[in-house]
Structure 1
Amino acid sequence: MTVLLDAVTVVLFTAGAGFCCLSALGLLRFPNVVTRLHTASNSQTLGLFLVLVGAAAQMPLRHAAVLLVVAVVQLFTAPIASQIIARTAHRTHAIERDRLLADALADRLARDGTPLDGPGRPERDTDEER
Structure 2
Amino acid sequence: MPFYLEIIICVSLLTGGAFLLIGSYGLVRLPDIYMRLHSPTKASTLGITGVLVASMIFQSHLKGFLSIQELLITLFLLITAPVAANMIAKTALHFRTKPIDKTQGQELMETIRDRKSTKPPHTPR
**Shorter-chain TM-score range:** 0.7 to 0.9
CA distance in 1 between partners of 2:113 and 2:100 (Å): 14
Q: Post-superposition shift, 1:109?
A: 4.8
CA distance in 1 between partners of 2:29 and 2:114 (Å): 34
Q: Post-superposition shift, 1:100?
A: 3.6
Q: With CA pairs under 8 Å and 6+ residues apart, which has the higher RCO, 1 or 2? A: 2
| Runs of 4+ residues over 6 Å off in structure 1 | none
Q: SS of the counterpart of 2:37?
A: helix
RMSD value, Cα: 2.2
Structure 1 pair 14–88 and aligned structure 2 pair: CA distance change class (3 A)? same
Structure 1 pair 8–85 and aligned structure 2 pair: CA distance change class (3 A)? same
Task: Kindly tell me the number of residue pairs found equivalent between the two proteins.
Answer: 111
Residue 92 of structure 2: aligned partner = 89
CA contact (8 A) 1:19 1:46 kept: yes
What aligned pairs does 1:1-130 form with structure 2 within 5 A after superposition?
2-60=2-60, 61-62=65-66, 64-96=67-99, 99-101=103-105, 103=108, 106-112=110-116
Unpaired segments ≥5 residues, structure 2 = 118-125
Q: SS of the counterpart of 2:83?
A: helix
- TM-score for the superposition, normalised by structure 2: 0.78
